[in-house]
Amino acid sequence: MDHDQDHALVEAAAAGDAAAAEALISRYQTRMFNFARTLTANDADAEDVAQETFLRAFRGLGRFRGESSFKNWLYRIAANVARSHLGKRVRQGSVWDRRVEADDAGEYALVDQTETVEDSVIRRDLLDRSLSALSDDLRMVLVLHDVEGLEYREIAAVLRVPIGTVMSRIFRARRRLRPLLTDLLRRAETTDSTENVKGQSAETFGHPTLGKVAL
Amino acid sequence: MNCERWMPALLEAADDRLDDVSRSDRDGLMAHLEQCDECRLALQEQRVVRAALTGRTDAEVPAGFPDRVLSEIDFGPSSSWVDMLRWRTWTYRLVPVATGLLLLGLVTARSAPDQIESAVGLSELAEAWAFGEEGTTRAFTLWGQEDVAGDLLLDAILSAEPDDTLSGGDPS
């Protein structure tokens, strides 16, 4: 359904229909902005990347053949724009600073608060800063899978890499991210993982070993 | 132990999607986890990081974002902005045509030297008409003098007889 609606909007936008273009932006702006936010770890860069993504998409609508979904096509453009953007930042020497910040980011989670809007913002900031410590390749596959919810095959198409590479990168990315999220994950383990997963694991997997793993 | 062998199934387990794994791989993973502490720890690690990331709340898109994007796009009614932006495609497509025309011109020039000579002859005639056989006309000579009166110069221009010079200085 979404795919059909996107197709109609894309055709109308390609014919110069500004309302259709606006509808596409409204539909995907949150995804694109947040995807960019997890890759750049700050709002200003995320907005630049998201805006450039939409501009490139609309300028290239004539080349969109509909073989993939419009959503995944946008992700592909966003990944390319972000790579270029991050490359500039590396040349400007700002990545080192971000990595240092990521190492210290655990302090954000040490504040003992109830789950408020501010707390969720802090948690998101911690996550995004921690993600910035990963290489671009690892970060992109992990965000596309765990944050954006794309399947392995979709990520493979977006990034044009084999599915095996996608899975390997996700595995490695999670392993590298784990120590950076110590405090945040301590909470997750004592809430989500311990409470929810502990209760579900044996039923979900139907096996005592996997049930024990969740503990 | 061949832990890498079980990485794909372990990933599916971390995503709570073991149903997507074949029965043999699922049983194999379970048997492997029974005896591999490292993989059990890895599975826990994978699940916990995934839980943290899937729980990330979306950041709010800055106000006015769609308008800023749309303001960068020309939706003019006179021409499709998409077509206008395909100039690269058109440029690339015109390259063979331009190359073909250039080659055709070169082949023509090589195969018809007489026509080239006649073209040179025409330019010489035009020069002779303008400046005369010796490269000057009365009007041109007067034009180069500072103290010549305007009416005299005008008269020389109006009374010039280019046909005389075209005859190569031999009016007869």
Verify whether the Cβ–Cβ distance A175 to B58 is below 8 Å: no
Of the candidates A147, A32, A137, A23, the residue with the CA atom closest to the CA atom of residue A78: A32
Name residues 64-83 of chain B within 8 A of A (Cβ).
65-66, 68-70, 72-73, 75-77, 80-83
Predicted local confidence at residue A194, as pLDDT: 43
Q: Which of A14, A127, A214 sits opposite B56 (nearest CB)?
A: A127
- Residue numbers in chain A where pLDDT is lower than 50: 94-113, 193-215
Is A214 in Cβ contact with B53 (below 8 Å)? no
Region of B132 (left: φ > 0; alpha: ψ -120 to 50; beta: rest) is left
The string over B11-48, giving b where at least 16 C-beta atoms fall within 10 Å of a residue's C-beta and e elsewhere, is bbbbbeebeebeeebbeebbebbeebeebbebbbbbbb
**Which of A29, A77, A197, A207 has the most B C-beta neighbours within 10 Å, making it the best mutation to test the interface with B?**
A207
Phi then psi dihedrals of residue A101, to 5 deg: -60, -40
Q: pLDDT tens digits for chain B (172 residues)? A: 689 899 999 999 999 999 888 999 999 999 999 999 999 999 999 999 999 999 999 999 999 999 999 999 876 554 445 555 555 555 666 778 888 999 998 888 877 666 655 555 555 655 555 555 554 556 666 666 766 777 777 777 777 655 444 434 444 3
Would you say B48 and B25 are in contact if contact means Cβ atoms under 8 Å apart?
no
pTM of the predicted structure, to 2 decimals? 0.63
The pLDDT value given to residue B122: 54
Task: Tell me if A146 and B58 make a contact (CB, 8 A cut-off).
Answer: no
Give the pLDDT of residue A118: 77
The question of ipTM being above 0.85 is answered as: no
Mean pLDDT of chain A: 78
Alpha-carbon gap, residue A34 to A147, rounded angstroms: 9
A169 and B CB contact within 8 Å: no
User: CB distance from B99 to chain A under 8 Å?
Assistant: no
| Tokens standing for residue A132 | 């910035």
Decide if B83 and A177 are in contact by the 8 Å CB cutoff. Answer: no
pLDDT for the residue numbered A163: 96
Q: What is the pLDDT of residue A186?
A: 62
Residues in chain B closer than 8 A to A171 (CB atoms)? 7, 10-11, 46
Q: CA nearest A58 in B: which residue?
A: B82
Q: Does B3 touch chain A (CB under 8 A)?
A: no
Instruction: Tell me what pLDDT residue A211 has.
Output: 44
Label each residue of chain B as H, E or C.
Answer: CCCHHHHHHHHHHHCCCHHHCCHHHHHHHHHHHHHCHHHHHHHHHHHHHHHHHHCCCCCCCCCCHHHHHHHCCCCCCCCCHHHHCCHHHHHHHHHHHHHHHHHHHHHHHHHCHHHHHHHHHHHHHHHHHHHCCCCCCHHHHHHCCCCCCHHHHHHHHHCCCHHHHHCCCCCC
Task: List the structure tokens of B106.
Answer: 């070169």
**Confidence (pLDDT) at B152:** 75
Q: Answer whether B131 touches A (CB < 8 Å).
A: no
Whether B95 has its CB under 8 Å from any CB of chain A: the answer is no
Q: How far apart are CA A201 and CA B47, in angstroms?
A: 11
Q: A212 — contact with chain B (CB < 8 Å)?
A: yes
Query: Among partner residues A37, A168, A181, which is closest to B49 by beta-carbon distance?
Result: A181
Contacts B7 to A, Cβ<8 Å: 167-168, 171
User: Do the chains contact at A178 and B49, CB–CB below 8 Å?
Assistant: yes
B63 touches chain A (CB under 8 A): no
Interface mutation vs chain A, best among B81, B83, B85, most A CBs within 10 Å: B81
Q: Is B57 on the interface with A (CB under 8 A)?
A: yes
Choose among A43, A127, A175: nearest Cβ to B52.
Answer: A127
CA distance B17 to chain A (A): 9
